[in-house]
Every structure is written in structure tokens, then in C-alpha cells.
Amino acid sequence: MKVFTTRVIPEEGLALLAHAGITVTQWSEPREMSLEEMIAKCKENDALLFAGGRKIDRPLLEHCRHLKIISLLSVGYDNVDLKAATELGIQITNTPGVLSNATADNAFLLMLAVARKAFFHHKRILNGEWGFSSPTANLGVDIEGKTLGIWGLGNIGSVMAQRCRAAFDMKIIYCNRHRNEAAEKALDAQWVSFDELLEQSDVLSVHTSLTPETKEKFDKAAFAKMKPSAIFINAARGGIHHETDLIAALETGQIWGAGLDVTNPEPMHPDNPLLQMPTVAVLPHIGSATVETRNAMSRIAAQNIIAAFQGQPVPNPVNHIYAL
Ligand SMILES: NC(=O)C1=CN([C@@H]2O[C@H](COP(=O)(O)OP(=O)(O)OC[C@H]3O[C@@H](n4cnc5c(N)ncnc54)[C@H](OP(=O)(O)O)[C@@H]3O)[C@@H](O)[C@H]2O)C=CC1
Ligand SMILES: O=CC(=O)O
């Protein structure tokens, strides 16, 4: 059996595949593959381990009917046409859970970085602009005791809420489609409507998946309902906020700051005005990028492939989700 990986993946996943007698070919060039190259690689192999790259859409999937599995090295599956994959009988899997801590830590980092304008001050020092210190200069805001609103209190959102409650005794409110009663109990969290989330959050952190329902949900109308002192964090997908509306909301003082691990498009253009704003912190989609977490993700992605090759139920299927 043969597997193609769209990026070089961590050693632990490779070791599991090798131990199962699976031959692995990796894409190691530092450029995106063309569609033709991708189709050719899919045709030569029995499974795809997708660790980044182009959208897995119907035209590509049409060439993948023979694949036993497309194993995603991510929890998000918004880059896959799940409906087409399922209709074509292609198994799709993801890597949930193991990246929740790392991704929440990154959202927490962004929250603090924005509150204290950390990236802006770092840039000043690099530019030789340390400046003249005074009690009224360089002021950020406190987080302690403020209200954290989570949009998408699932695996990652729950860890972010735990971190914020433990570190800063924040009051937790959240908005999901369904109540998360376990989290309500553990975090003393309160389920609110989307509008209440917008109106009451001092820090509003987005952790939903990107779906037609969540796409550009944070637009002009949403930002207009938020507090002028609010910090907006998006550690999920850039497509969930409308970038031009976010820029306008920050420029006009409708909200105070924003921390983004994800942008739309990615990479963000270096001329983007967000990068010049003191109360904005941007990272290049590194939520799960720690040695331990990426190793764990590679193990799970490999285990999904091994199960599919052995005719066993795969541990982390996502095909059923398109029907919800
Ligand atoms: N920045 C990064 O590097 C990373 C980003 N991510 C992103 O984070 C996302 C979340 O991951 P994870 O926490 O593991 O996923 P989960 O499925 O555990 O959590 C998602 C939550 O979003 C809620 N949700 C979904 N749709 C809606 C909606 N329309 N309105 C309100 N709430 C909604 C769900 O609750 P309910 O069903 O009740 O609505 C659920 O609680 C991933 O899909 C991925 O895009 C993940 C890892 C790393
Ligand atoms: O963005 C990362 C993911 O795992 O999803």
C-alpha cells in the first residue's frame, strides 16, 4: 500500500506508517503543487495524507475514486467538498482533540498580545522607537475579571474558556447552536444568543468551524453591536470574519482591537492596514504548530490510514457531517 503526503509530516506519523509496511512518498518542495501534479500523485497512490495545499474539490476528487482514504492532518475540513467525497465513496478523516490545547494557547496569546499592544511595541523597538517613557504612555487594558464570549464552545473553545477562567477569573458566556451543559457546569458558562454575545463580550473569541452558516458572520452589522472596548479574536478560520468590515470597525473605533491567527486570504498581504494598527496582532495560522501537537496529529492521521487499509472502522470519520 502506498501513501502520498502533501507536505513533509512529523516523524512519529511516518514511523507508524512504516511499521505497518506502508510506503510513503512526501511532497518536499517549498511550493504548492499544481492540480496536474496533485492528480498524478493521487493516481500513483492508495491514500492521500493531506497536510496542506489546494482545495480538495469535486474536480480533484473525481480523480481520487480509487483512494482508500484522504486523511487530513487538521481538525478543520472546510477545504474538502465532503458531499462530493461521500457521493464518490471516498473516506475523509481528521485529527480532533489533540490540537485543542495548543490552538487555545495561541488564542490566549493573541488576547494578551492585543490587550498590551505587544506586537506594536516589539515593532517600535525594532524600528529604534523605544521612546520617552511616561505614566500615560504605552497603555494597554486589563483582562482580569472581564467577560469572555466564545463563539463555538467545542473542543478548542472550551480550553480557551478554561484558561481564561483559571488565569483571569473571567466571566464566560458562549453561543453555540446547541447548549453545552457539561461546559456550563465546569466553567459556570452562560448560553446566550449571538446578539447577546456581541453586546456583552469584552473579549470575543471565535472557535466555530467555517461553514456556509458561519461564513463572514462577523461583518459590519456584527461589529456595530460590539463594545467599543472589545477585543475580537479569530483562531478558527479567516473566512468567518469579513476583513474589510473588520478594518473599518477598528479604524472607526467600533471595536478596540483584534487578534488573528487566521486571515482571508492566507497569506495576508504585507500591505494590509491591519498590520499597522497598534491594537492588532496577526499570526500566520500557527494554532497547532508545536512539536508535541504536530507529532500527535501525525500519529492520528497515520492511524486513520492504517485502519482504512486494514478494513477497520476509521477512528475519525467526517463524511457524515455534510448531511447535518
Ligand atoms: N488556527 C488554527 O491553527 C486552528 C484552527 N482550527 C479551527 O477551529 C475549529 C474548531 O475546532 P474544534 O474546537 O476542534 O471543533 P468542535 O467541533 O469541537 O467545536 C466547534 C464548535 O462550534 C460550534 N458551532 C458550529 N457551527 C456553529 C454555528 N453556526 N453557530 C454557533 N456555533 C457553532 C459547535 O457547537 P454546535 O454544534 O452546538 O453549534 C461546536 O461547539 C475547526 O473547525 C478549525 O477550523 C482548529 C485547529 C487549529
Ligand atoms: O487549522 C488547523 C486545523 O487543524 O484545522
**Model pTM score:** 0.97
Q: How far is the CA of 33 from the centre of ligand 1 (A)?
A: 28
Ligand 2 pocket residue status of 99, Cβ below 6 Å: yes
- Asked if pLDDT for residue 321 goes beyond 90, the answer is no
pLDDT at residue 322, rounded to an integer: 75
Q: Which one of 176, 197, 215, 286 would you pick to mutate in the ligand 1 pocket, going by the greatest count of ligand atoms within 8 A of its CB? A: 176
* Residues 12, 82 share a domain: yes
Ligand 2 pocket residue status of 236, Cβ below 6 Å: no
Q: Other CB atoms closer than 10 Å to residue 322's CB: what's the count?
A: 17
pLDDT tens track for 50-84: 999 999 999 999 999 999 999 999 999 999 999 99
**Cis, peptide link before residue 267, omega less than 30° from 0:** yes
316 vs 55: CA distance, rounded Å: 20
pLDDT at residue 323, rounded to an integer: 62
* Residues 119, 209 share a domain: yes
* Residues 241, 257 share a domain: yes
Q: Which one of 71, 75, 298 would you pick to mutate in the ligand 2 pocket, going by the greatest count of ligand atoms within 8 A of its CB? A: 75
* Residues 112, 163 share a domain: yes
pLDDT tens track for 294-314: 999 999 999 999 999 999 999
108 vs 231: CA distance, rounded Å: 12
pLDDT tens track for 28-58: 999 999 999 999 999 999 999 999 999 999 9
pLDDT tens track for 127-178: 999 988 999 999 999 999 999 999 999 999 999 999 999 999 999 999 999 9
* Residues 120, 218 share a domain: yes
* Residues 132, 201 share a domain: yes
pLDDT at residue 219, rounded to an integer: 98
Ligand 1 pocket residue status of 76, Cβ below 6 Å: yes
Ligand closest in space to the Cα of 211? 1
- Asked if pLDDT for residue 184 goes beyond 80, the answer is yes
277 vs 155: CA distance, rounded Å: 31
Ligand closest in space to the Cα of 283? 1
DSSP 270-306: TT-GGGG-TTEEE--S-TT-SHHHHHHHHHHHHHHHH
> Which ligand 2 atom sits closest to the C-alpha of 76?
5
176 vs 206: CA distance, rounded Å: 11
Q: How far is the CA of 211 from the centre of ligand 1 (A)?
A: 10
CATH at residue 161: 3.40.50.720
Domain extent at residue 28: 2-97+290-323
* Residues 7, 26 share a domain: yes
Q: Which one of 208, 215, 288 would you pick to mutate in the ligand 1 pocket, going by the greatest count of ligand atoms within 8 A of its CB? A: 208
Give the count of domains, the chain: 2
* Residues 201, 167 share a domain: yes
CB 146, CB 170: distance < 8 Å: yes
* Ligand 1, atom 32, residue with closest C-alpha: 176
* Residues 239, 129 share a domain: yes
- Asked if pLDDT for residue 246 goes beyond 90, the answer is yes
Of the chain, the percentage scoring pLDDT greater than 70 comes to 99
Mean pLDDT rounded to a whole number for the chain: 97
* Residues 317, 215 share a domain: no
Q: At 114, is the pLDDT very low, low, confident or very high (cuts 50, 70, 90)? A: very high
* Residues 108, 247 share a domain: yes
pLDDT at residue 320, rounded to an integer: 87
* Residues 297, 209 share a domain: no
* Contacts with 187 (C-beta within 8 Å, 6 or more apart), sequence order: 158, 161, 162, 165, 172
- Active-site annotation, residues: 237, 266, 285
> Which ligand 2 atom sits closest to the C-alpha of 74?
4
- Asked if pLDDT for residue 324 goes beyond 60, the answer is no
Ligand 1 pocket residue status of 204, Cβ below 6 Å: no
pLDDT at residue 250, rounded to an integer: 98
DSSP 231-279: EEEE-S-GGGB-HHHHHHHHHTTSSSEEEES--SSSSPPTT-GGGG-TT
Q: Other CB atoms closer than 10 Å to residue 244's CB: what's the count?
A: 11
